[in-house]
Structure 1
Amino acid sequence: MISNSRTYALTHLRTPFPLPIVVLVSGSGTNLQAIIDEIGAGQLDAEIKMVISNNPDVYAINRCKKHKIPFKIICQPDFEVTIVQEVAKSGAKLICLAGFMKILSKDFVKKFKGQIINIHPALLPSFPGLRAQGQALLYGAKISGCTVHFVNEDVDTGPIIIQAAVPLLENDTEETLSARILKEEHNIYPQAIQLFAEGRLKIVGRRVLISDKKCGS
């Protein structure tokens, strides 16, 4: 997230491992599952304190039940108020948007400055918004991919943490391209969370600098 000053370090967010996180979902939760799997494999120093969905009929809920992760369905108009309360109760230091299809208000984003990240199925700043994979195909792009970025007050414009490139094939459809991009999403989203957990991220202007050393080492 961009601050008024040129440099915005995230050192004030340092927490002992594991990093407590809240995950917001609106769909099946495949990126949620990738996070769960990496935690289970000992590759991600995080703990999912709560999963929140704005949709009561999503498969992500089944994933939570299987792994005994607390979840909450929030459909009311003032859903952001409830999210703030749940984040506060959980002690989470990072909010991960994993296919969360509601746009968060500017006030909400400002409240959690530098503590919200999102995964987008394109190489931002190209193809922001909905159906990014279809946009890439229609535009005739040769390469697309996915981006993990900090969330700021506008849609898909926050500072970029990590990206992965995926070449477009001549016979690609939106479905085939989406499937290949999704595999890369599952790789880079846990990586970005781990970088945050290790205190290795610093925002300088529009750039996110990644330190070679863990915070405190």
Structure 2
Amino acid sequence: MPATCNVVVLLSGSGSNLQAMIDNLQGVDHPARLRAVISNRADAFGLQRASDAGIDTRALDHKTFDGREAFDAALIELIDSFQPQLVVLAGFMRILSADFVRHYHGRLLNIHPSLLPRYKGLHTHQRVLEAGDREHGCSVHFVTEELDGGPLVVQAVVPVELNDSPSTLAQRVHVQEHQIYPLAIRWFAEGRLSLGEQGAILDGQLLGASGHLIRN
């Protein structure tokens, strides 16, 4: 069965989540196809990962544009040239304009290293340890105009150990990111996952405030 859901990945860095997608989305029977990987940094190692896997790559330097809106307009044009059904953010270190988010409404996913709505933004592992939390994790969500605030699709929970540092905690969270992001992409590609007026919908059922929860 040929792949039917073209996916474009946006990234700015090493692309570890991209590698998990490459490893998980293989096979002619998989409903998703990684159509292209685009970065705002030409030196992003994620572009090399994509090239090694035979995936089209493009670099679009945000510094050559006069402001966020101009860059996002060019980015939309570039993304749409690959005719994707789904766009996924995998460490794309740009705050997206409202026009960009609206253009891809219902087909734009992001992953965040915390149990949203807790710890939006940066340095999540350090903040979890400073707060003395017993649990941490990661979240896949639909992207809306609210930063790290879109409807949740799936979350993976990991325990916080007594001797954890930000780096050890990050390593365990990354393992879970590499599981749940390909899972969410498969759900979308299979037509099981969508964004409704009230939130994310999986298999016809509205997901709760935490999305689909996986405990480790």
Interval of TM-score (by shorter of Structure 1 and Structure 2): 0.7 to 0.9
Structure 1, unaligned stretches of length 5 or more? 1-15
Q: Which residue does 1:10 correspond to in 2?
A: none
TM-score by length of 1: 0.86
Residue of structure 2 equivalent to 1:162: 154
Report the more deviating stretch, 59-68 or 20-29: 59-68
Give the match for residue 6 of structure 1: none
Map residues 14-93 of structure 1 onto 2, 5 A cutoff: 17-40=3-26, 44-75=30-61, 76-77=64-65, 78-93=70-85
Higher alpha-carbon deviation: 23-32 or 36-45: 36-45
> When the two structures are superposed, what TM-score results if normalisation uses the length of structure 2?
0.86
* Aligned CA distance change for structure 1 residues 119 and 200 (closer, same or farther; 3 Å): same
Q: Aligned Cα RMSD in Å? A: 1.8
CA distance in 1, matches of 2:103, 2:80: 12
Say if 2:195 is the partner of 1:209: no
Query: What letter is aligned with 2:146?
Result: D
How has the CA–CA distance of structure 1 residues 144 and 42 changed in structure 2, closer, same or farther, with 3 Å as cutoff?
A: farther
Q: CA deviation at 1:69?
A: 1.0
Q: More displaced, 125-134 or 77-86?
A: 77-86
- The Cα of 1:202 is off from its aligned counterpart by 3.9
Mapped partners of 2:7, 2:123: distance in 1 = 27
Structure number with the bigger relative contact order (C-alpha 8 A, sep ≥ 6) is 1
Is the contact made by 1:203 and 1:209 (CA closer than 8 Å) also made in structure 2?
yes
Equivalenced residue count is 198
Note closer, same or farther for the CA distance 1:81–1:203 as it changes in structure 2 (3 Å cut): closer
Query: Are the equivalent residues in 1 in contact too, given 2:129–2:166 (CA < 8 A)?
Result: yes
Does 2:154 correspond to 1:147?
A: no
Unaligned runs of 5+ in 2: 206-216
Structure 1 residue 63: Cα displacement: 0.5
Q: Distance in 2 between matches of 1:96 and 1:204?
A: 18
- Quote the offset at 1:52 in angstroms: 0.6
CA distance in 1, matches of 2:147, 2:124: 13
8 Å CA contact 2:106, 2:194 repeated in 1: no
Identity among equivalent pairs (%): 40
Post-superposition Cα deviations, 1:73-100, rounded to whole Å, max 9, x if no partner, equal 1113232122211222111011100011
Per the alignment, do residues 183 and 43 of structure 1 end up closer, same or farther by CA in structure 2, a change over 3 Å counting? farther
CA distance in structure 2 between the aligned counterparts of 1:142 and 1:44, rounded to whole angstroms: 37
In structure 2, how many angstroms separate the alpha carbons of the residues matched to 1:96 and 1:154?
Answer: 16
Is this contact kept in 1: 2:3–2:30, CA < 8 A?
Answer: no
Superimposed CA distance per residue, residues 123-167 of structure 1 (whole angstroms, 9 cap, x where no aligned partner): 100111011111111111100100000000011000000010011
The code of the aligned residue for 1:50 comes to A
Tell me the SS of whatever aligns to 1:40. Answer: coil
